Structure 1
Amino acid sequence: MTHPTHPTRPSRDPLEVGGSVWLQSGTQTLGGAARIALLAAIRETGSITGAAKAVGMSYKAAWDAIDTMNNLAGEPLVVRASGGKGGGGTTLTAPALRLIETFRTIEREHRRFLERAGAAIEGFAADWQLIGRIGMRTSARNQLAGKVTRVTRGAVNDEVELALAGGQAIVAVLTHESTEALGLTPGSDAFALIKASWVLLMADEPARLSARNQLRGTVSRVTRGAVNAEVSLALDESTTVTAVITNQSLDMLALSEGERAVAVFKASSVILGVND
C-alpha cells in the first residue's frame, strides 16, 4: 500500500523590490506596459492583427485598447489606412511615437530605482516580514505573532504551541493538512488570530478549566458600550489581548485599568497563519 504524499512548503526566495509603471489621464489609465507594448508592436508590424498576436492579445481586445488610448489622449495615436494598390495598414502618429519613447525612458529610470531600492533592503528581511504582518487586514481583533515551539501529532488533528514574545504560549488545534500546508515546524514563525468574542476573562486567581489557553496580564483599557464592553489585557510591553464581554460581567469581575486578569480561550478558537 502506498501512502499519499503531502506538498511541502517551498523555500522562501530572497526579498526583491518590484513594481510597474503606467501613465494616467486624470483617473483613467492611458497606458501601462501592455498598452505601450501594443503600440510598439504596431510600429514594428504595421498591422493590428500582427501586433495583437505579437503581444498575446485578441484582435478585439487590441482594438478596444486602441480606442481607449485614442479617447483618453484626446487625439489619434493609431491610424488605420484604407486599402489601395499597396493594401491597407496601421500606423502610429507622432504623439504615439513620443508616448512610446517617454514610457521607455520612465521605465529605464524606474528600473534603476528598483535596483537601488533592492540593494538598500539587503539584510532587512525581518523588517519586511514585519511590514507584511502589520499590513495584514483581518476581522479577528487579536493578531499575535510568535514562534512555533512544539507540534504534537494526534490521531486526527495536530496540536501546535506558539511562544509569544513575552514568554507565554498559545496552543492551537488544527488538521494535519493545515499543519503541513502552512509548513509549521518547531522554530518557524507564525501568527495567531483570535476573535475578541471568543476570549473570556476571569480574575487572576488559580482555576481549573478545560480551555487550554490562559494568558495572564494587566487590564490596560476598558471601553464600555451600551450592552458590551471591550477590555484590553496587556500580557507584556508589546502584546495585548482584547475581549468583548457584557457590562454585567465587567461589573461582576470589577475589572478596571491596572487590575490583573486572565484571558481564556479554547485551542480550537485559534487560527494560525504564516507570511508567504
Structure 2
Amino acid sequence: MKIDGRFWLTKDGQSFLGTGRIELLERIDKIGSIHAAAKEMKMSYKAAWERINGMNALSDQPLIERTTGGRGGGGTKLTPYARELIATFHRLNELHRQFIDRFSEAGNDPERLARILSRTFLTTSARNQLPATLSSVEVSGLHATLTLALSGSDVLTSTITAKSVYNMGLTEGCDLYAIIKSSDIHIASERPSTDTTDNILSGTIESLESSGDNIEIALRLSGGTLLIALEQRDSLHHFQVGMGAYAIISPLHIIIGL
C-alpha cells in the first residue's frame, strides 16, 4: 500500500489549474497554436478551448493573447501572468510531491505515519536542527547511547532515556533530527583533551556576529553541516573567520526529534 495524492489548485470552489491544464498552456506557449497544442495532446480543439475558457474565467488576469498577421499568419501566446502561474504551479507541485514522499515512508503503518506527521509540523526554538541517521543504539539500564551519522563523515553521540527509545520507536537506520541549542555548543580554537565523553567536531569558522554580551559563531563542519554556537563576547579575540576550530557538545545536550 502506498500513500499518494494529486495536486490541483482551485478557485471559488472550482478546479483552476492541474497538471493537464499546465501542460496545455506550456504546449501553446511552445507552438503558438491552440489547435496544434490540442493535437499533440490527442485532444479536440473544442475540449482545449473549453479548458482555456474555464481557466480564463477564474484567472485574475488573461492567460492567453491572440496575435494576427505577420509572416506566420498570427497565432496564440501566453501572457506574462500565465507564465508566472506556471512557475508557481510547478514549485507548489514539487513541494506537494515532497510532502507525499514523506508520508510514503510510513508504508501501511499508521503509527509511523503519526510520527512523521508530528515531525513534519514540529517547530522548535533551537538553532541547530540537524538531519541525521541513527547508526547504533546501546541501552544500559535507564539510559541509551545513540550514535548519529550527520552528512559527510561527522558523527554525534547522544544520551537519552531508554524509555524514550521505546516510545519514539527508534531503530538503527531510521532518520531523525539532532536538536541542539546554540548555548549548549562550546567553540574552542584548539582541540581539547581526548579524555572526555563530549562530542568533539572539527570545522571552519564561517561567520562571527556579535550582539550585546554575546557572539554568534557559525562553524562549518568538514562534512558540510553548519553549527550555530553562542559564546560570551569577551572570547571574540580568540576567533576569526576562516580559522579552524572545534565544537564541543555534551551527549546530554542533544535532543532527538522525529
* 2:140 aligned partner: 154
* 2:2 aligned partner: 14
Q: Tell me the SS of whatever aligns to 2:164.
A: helix
**Which aligned segments of 4 or more residues in structure 1 are displaced greater than 6 angstroms?**
18-24, 127-130, 132-135
User: Could you tell me how far apart the structure 1 residues matched to 2:119 and 2:222 are?
Assistant: 19
* 1:125 aligned partner: 101
1:214 aligns with 2:200: yes
* 2:257 aligned partner: 273
Q: Tell me the SS of whatever aligns to 2:179.
A: strand
What amino acid sits opposite 2:248 in the alignment? V
* 2:131 aligned partner: 145
Q: CA deviation at 1:22?
A: 10
Larger deviation, residues 150-159 vs 209-218: 209-218
What amino acid sits opposite 2:188 in the alignment? M
Q: CA deviation at 1:271?
A: 0.4
* 1:260 aligned partner: 244
Q: CA deviation at 1:19?
A: 9.3
What amino acid sits opposite 1:14 in the alignment? K
Give the aligned CA root-mean-square deviation in angstroms: 3.7
Pair 142,167 (structure 1): closer, same or farther in 2 beyond 3 Å: same
Gaps of 5+ in 1: 1-12, 25-30, 32-116
* 1:223 aligned partner: 209
Q: How many residues align?
A: 167
Q: Tell me the SS of whatever aligns to 2:176.
A: strand
Once the two structures are aligned, what percentage of the paired residues are identical? Answer: 26
- Alignment deviations for residues 193-229 of structure 1 (CA, whole Å, 9 cap, x no partner): 0000111111133523534211110000100112110
What amino acid sits opposite 2:2 in the alignment? P
Contact 2:133 2:176 in 1 (8 A): yes
Which one has the largest radius of gyration? Answer: 1
User: Could you tell me how far apart the structure 1 residues matched to 2:239 and 2:220 are?
Assistant: 13
Q: CA deviation at 1:14?
A: 3.4
User: Could you tell me how far apart the structure 1 residues matched to 2:208 and 2:121 are?
Assistant: 25
Contact 1:164 1:170 in 2 (8 A): yes
Contact 1:211 1:264 in 2 (8 A): no
* 2:234 aligned partner: 248
- The TM-score, its normalising length taken from structure 2, stands at 0.55
User: Could you tell me how far apart the structure 2 residues matched to 1:209 and 1:139 are?
Assistant: 32
Contact 1:202 1:261 in 2 (8 A): yes
Give runs of aligned pairs for residues 83-122 of structure 1, distance below 5 A: 121=97
User: Could you tell me how far apart the structure 2 residues matched to 1:221 and 1:128 are?
Assistant: 38
Contact 1:221 1:232 in 2 (8 A): yes
- The TM-score, its normalising length taken from structure 1, stands at 0.52
Q: CA deviation at 1:235?
A: 0.6
Gaps of 5+ in 2: 14-92, 106-115
Q: Tell me the SS of whatever aligns to 1:179.
A: helix
